[in-house]
Amino acid sequence: MPLSVSICCLKGTDVYPSPQAHFVAYSIAFVCHAKANIQLGSVESAKRKFAHSEIVKMTNNFQRILGKGGFGTVYHGHKDNTQVAIKMLSPSSVQGFQQFHAEVDLLIRVHHKNLTSLVGYCNDETNLGLVYEFMANGNLQEQLSDSSSRILSWEHRLRIAVDAAQGLEYLHYGIKPPIIHRDVKSANILLDDNFEAKVSDFGLSRNFPADAGTHISTAVAGTTGYLDPEYYLSNRLNEKSDVYSFGIVLLEIITGRPAVLSTTDERIHISQWVGFMLVSGDISSIVDPRLDGNFTVNSVWKAVEIAMACASPNAIKRPTMSQVVMELKECMATQMGETNHNNKTKLTSSTELISNDSIPMLSPPSVR
């Protein structure tokens, strides 16, 4: 990424400030807002309605806080023997209410295994809420952080990438009108007890009308480090903005580093850092060192190529999410094929070691 573009991404001024805490689970969203005017007719016929008193009971009177953000506070709770989380919107949060309204509208429409799904609601006069399922392994950002006690294997990382890509592909091509998420980031990818990933937090999402042409013009919204530089500069939004953000998430998955790297002297965007490191052609300098070499070189090179193509500063050069899903599945097949081959070889001869030379090296991917 050119330095000038990278700087635009890092400034992030007047961009929607992302919440400090995001769901570590599918959640129940609860709102107290006298001006609430969300129509839930289609929900009421298909989803369970919870009384406000039930939500208070679920949370033990909102006792345990999971996190706080611009919208309000997230609480932990239980429904019968099922864990839940409660997103409670502050009555004074006008922006948060708008985002909540957008999320309600979207969750009524979408149904996909890799997106958070609505299972109930609360609509007691001025009290409005949404019910979601608990996600046991929190979010991807937490799992990739140095503070995590668990190290995700390369295979797990690829599966998470495929899951998240499939969720975005559905938003772009599986429903009409298509939906642009606008806030794709590792903190908004939740993981269940089997580490299946689901895209969450649709408060900034926008419909993309069929007659909109190549883009829609809208105020810039998103999170610093993940924000499409072309959208940032032009206010022109289309599905390729989500592709860019996903590319940054994929680079995080590969490197184990955050979207914006901070040193004592400067801050550098992860795509720029990876571009610098690619010059040496040494994949070990890019991959998360905690993987300790437990990956196939072909698979990693392929993943890096996909990520850098997604993160191209030029939107027209980015692939579609359908192409990304297909390429990531090939990447997974390469990883699984090499792993199965290595395991079979070890069973055949316990004394034979497979040298690195037996794994064909791909040429370093071009930075597109």
Kindly list the catalytic residues. 183
Q: Angle 232-238-242 (CA atoms, 0-180°, nearest 5)?
A: 75
Buried b (16+ CB within 10 A) or exposed e, 263-273: eeeeebbbbbb
Of residues 153, 174, 154, 152, the one with CA closest to residue 165: 174
Buried b (16+ CB within 10 A) or exposed e, 197-231: bbbbbbbbbbbbeeeeeebeeeebbbbbbbbbbbb
| Separation of CA 356 from chain center | 33
Largest Cα–Cα separation, the chain:
73
| 87 annotated to bind ligand | yes
Q: Within a 10 A sphere around the Cβ of 167, how many other Cβ atoms?
A: 27
Q: Angle 62-65-68 (CA atoms, 0-180°, nearest 5)?
A: 115
Of residues 23, 42, 194, the one with CA closest to residue 123: 42
Report how far residue 307's alpha carbon sits from residue 253's, in angstroms, rounded to the nearest whole number.
Answer: 10
Following CA atoms 177, 196, 113, 121 in sequence, which dihedral angle do they give, to the nearest 10 degrees?
-90
Residue 116: burial class (beta carbons within 10 Å; 0-12, 13-18, 19+): buried
Report how far residue 18's alpha carbon sits from residue 181's, in angstroms, rounded to the nearest whole number.
Answer: 14
Which residues partner with 180 through β-bridges?
A: 206
User: Which residues are annotated binding-site positions for ATP?
Assistant: 87
User: Which residues are annotated binding-site positions?
Assistant: 87
